Amino acid sequence: MNVALLLLGCLALMIPGMLLYSQVPGTAPWTPVVNRPLLPVIVQVPQRFATVVSSQNMPLSLPDGWTASVFYTGSAVRKGRFLAWGPDSTLYVASMTTGTIVALPDRNRDGIADTAIVAASGFSNAHDVRFWRDTMFVCAEAGVFSLTDANKDGVFETRRTRVDKTVQPNQMGGNHTTRSLAIDSINGFLFVSVGSRDNVARENDRATIERYTLDGGNRTIYATGVRNAVGITIHPRTGVLWANNNGSDRAGNDVPGEWVDIIRENGFYGYPFAWHHQTFFDFSNDPYRRLLPITADDSAKVASMVPPAALITAHSAPMALEFSHEGMPHGYRRGAFMVLRGSWNRQPATGSKLVYFDFDNDDDTIANTVRDVCTGFMLDSMASPARRWGRPVGLALAADGSIYLTSDDITHVILKLTPPPFATSVNNASTHEPPRLYPNPTQQHVTIDWPYLHVVRDYSIVSMSGEVLLKGALPSTTSGSATIDCSNLPSGRMVLHLVTDSGATAHLPFVIQR
């Protein structure tokens, strides 16, 4: 027996992730926090938004060299929730208060929305917007809808109901009315998160993640015990479904921790009995006392729980979750970003920020660390309720490495966070001379001119939605010029990424126009 345990221990050290899964049930190891310094920045407010918001009332802190600006604010977007890039490289946002999906084009690429266009309307509690090819999917409390823009005028006028409240009445009402959507385009599935009705209760038809075929049929309960997974996403390279969870209240300042994990078919994730790795709640206090008696079936469900990929501070209220891509700055390419709105149920308060989880690679299922990327929304965490100037919710990663965030409370705004410009060192001499790309727009090819092309390791061309369309090594050159054939790429806005031997990156936006 001792030899067997020794062999098991050796295997746990050899197989990534196995060591964590061998933890004693009832333990709760938190994801290690890395405290890297963030610097205060002044949020840049374009002149046309100056009467709506003020930079003095929006303090933020970001990594060194990053900047922040207002991409859009105004009456067209009230309680802006989730964001998505459309096939035309336009940013779309679900406005919960107005029940609309709003398009925010930036045609001149100056980092400011040119205008706000109501692309679709008439949704109750519109929360999420996603695209599959040229079809818009909207997820609201009353169901899931698909829309198309047949005449290409920017308004998605052709509507079809995919999941209807009359067929699935379990989705209506209760404490949690937001509905989040993930589209598995490879296998042809829609995943819908349906949060619990109550804070803590036995609920047979809620606290689930449901799966449908793309036409809204073949409903199955994919996972249970998921109290309120506001953030769900398909990993863009592995195709695996991931989610986070908003844990229950009235269990203490630090219970339960908020988790991030892969969502496994038929998996049970704890609600309402337990959290993390089979850690039962304290049933001696209300509202948890009302769950008693705990049955054998309840215990079997809890015994099936495995530790999540990440566990962070309780009552952080996780929102949008997005995996990074190779166009992100160095140090942010192999993990996931997550927005924390912040709950009312903690003293001192937590959340109201953007964080980043670092993983070893795309197949890694246990986060190494978590660190803050954007803070400052919370002005006083000790106040009751906490003083905030905004509460971040939605998240979109652009191909050029910038990050878009929505704030849906107090200040209704969409922010753009921009990483520092490209800089590298050649022959021990620092240069900030940027590469030059032409022609732009192009039809067939682009040429890059830069004296330091010999230090470029590889390149990729990425759509604004983050899809890698072309990648490889640049043609060998001694002239400081290289040409890339784009004739097989679709029309639209693109970003060319260059990666040097040292890991530094350049992001060159351009347009293919035919």
- pLDDT digits over 147-166, tens only? 999 998 999 999 999 988 76
Confidence of residue 8 (pLDDT cuts 50, 70, 90): very low
DSSP conformation letters of 307-345: --SEEE-TT--EEEEEE--TTSPTTSSSEEEEEE---SS
Compute and round to an integer the Cα radius of gyration of the chain. 24
DSSP states of 145-195: EEEE-TT-SS---EEEEEEETTT-GGGSSSS---EEEEEETTTTEEEEEE-
Provide CB contacts within 8 A for 319, sequence distance 6+. Answer: 230, 231, 338, 339, 340, 341, 392, 393, 394, 395
Residues in the chain: 514
* Confidence (pLDDT) at 453: 81
Of all helices (H) and strands (E), which one includes residue 212?
A: strand 208-213
Contacts of 303 (CB under 8 A, 6+ apart): 25, 278
pLDDT per residue as tens digits for the range 352-397: 999 999 999 999 999 999 999 999 999 999 998 999 999 999 999 9
SS (H, E, C) 268-280: ECCCCCEECCCEE
Dist CA 354 CA 239 (whole Å)? 24
Give residue 310's pLDDT. 97
pTM of the predicted structure, to 2 decimals: 0.82
**Fold agreement between 2-418 and 431-512:** no
Tell me whether the omega of the peptide bond preceding residue 256 falls within 30 degrees of 0, making it cis: yes
Report which secondary-structure segment, H or E, holds 3.
helix 2-14
Dihedral sign, CA of 371, 461, 234, 87?
positive
Asked whether residue 333 carries a pLDDT value surpassing 70, the answer given is yes
Give the lowest-confidence range in 273-277, 306-310, 447-451: 447-451
pLDDT at position 492 is: 83
CA-nearest of 351, 345, 293, 283 to 317 is 351
pLDDT for the residue 450: 82
What's the CA gap between 30 and 255, in Å, rounded? 12
CB under 8 Å to 250, separation ≥6 — which residues?
199, 200, 285, 286, 287, 345
Hunting for tokens 């994990």 — which residue is that?
261
Distance CA 122, CA 109 (A): 30
The answer, yes or no, to whether residue 13 has pLDDT greater than 60, is: no
Share of the chain above pLDDT 70, in %: 89
Q: Using CA atoms, how far apart are residues 275 and 27, in angstroms rounded to an integer?
A: 10
Residue 45 CA to residue 112 CA, distance in Å, equals: 10
* Residue 504 pLDDT exceeds 80: no
Separation in Å, CA 413 to CA 72, 130, 367, 407 = 6, 20, 30, 5
Average pLDDT (46-75) is 95
* Least confident stretch, 16-20, 269-273, 374-378: 16-20
Q: Which of 72-81, 86-95, 170-179 has the weakest average pLDDT? A: 170-179
CATH of region 2-418: 2.120.10.30
Cβ neighbours of 32 (radius 10 Å):
11
**Residue 451 above 90 pLDDT?**
no
**Dihedral sign computed on CA atoms, order 62, 63, 69, 71:** negative
Rounded average pLDDT over 130-149: 94
Residues facing residue 179 across a β-bridge: 194
**Two tokens, residue 70:** 């207002």
Q: What is the pLDDT of residues 416-429, one digit of tens each?
A: 999 987 543 333 33
The answer, yes or no, to whether residue 490 has pLDDT greater than 50, is yes
The more confident residue out of 438 and 242 is 242
Local confidence band at 26 (pLDDT 50, 70, 90 cut-offs): low
Cβ atoms of residues 101 and 146 within 8 Å: no
Q: What class does CATH assign to 431-512?
A: mainly beta
- With a pLDDT cut of 90, the percent of the chain lying above it is 68
What is the chain's mean pLDDT, rounded?
88
CA 448, CA 427: separation in Å to the nearest integer? 21
Least-confidence region, from 22-36, 75-89, 340-354: 22-36
Q: Is the pLDDT of residue 336 over 80?
A: yes
Would you state the pLDDT for residue 114?
96
Is 50 exceeded by the pLDDT of residue 314?
Answer: yes
Tokens 């004693």 sit on residue = 24
Q: Which long-range contacts (CB under 8 A, 24 or more apart) does 147-156 make?
A: 147/120, 149/119, 154/103, 154/117, 154/119, 155/117, 155/118, 155/119, 155/120, 156/101, 156/119, 156/120
User: Has residue 478 got a pLDDT over 70?
Assistant: no
Q: Is the pLDDT of residue 265 over 80?
A: yes
Q: Taking the CA of residue 421 as centre, how many other CA atoms within 13 Å lie in the half-sphere pointing to its CB? A: 5
- The pLDDT assigned to 499 comes to 82
**CA-CA distances (angstroms) from residue 385 to 126, 148, 348, 391?**
27, 43, 10, 13
User: Which residues partner with 275 through β-bridges?
Assistant: 279
If pLDDT is split at 50, 70 and 90, which confidence band does 168 have? low
Question: What is the domain partition of the chain in residue ranges?
Answer: 2-418, 431-512
Which is it for the CA torsion 180, 182, 188, 189, positive or negative? negative
For residues 68 and 60, the answer to whether their CB atoms sit within 8 Å is yes
Q: Which residues 6+ apart lie within 8 Å of 205 measured at CB?
A: 170
**pLDDT greater than 50 at residue 307:** yes
For position 7, what pLDDT does the model report? 36
Q: Yes or no: say if 413 and 435 are a contact pair by the CB < 8 Å rule.
A: no
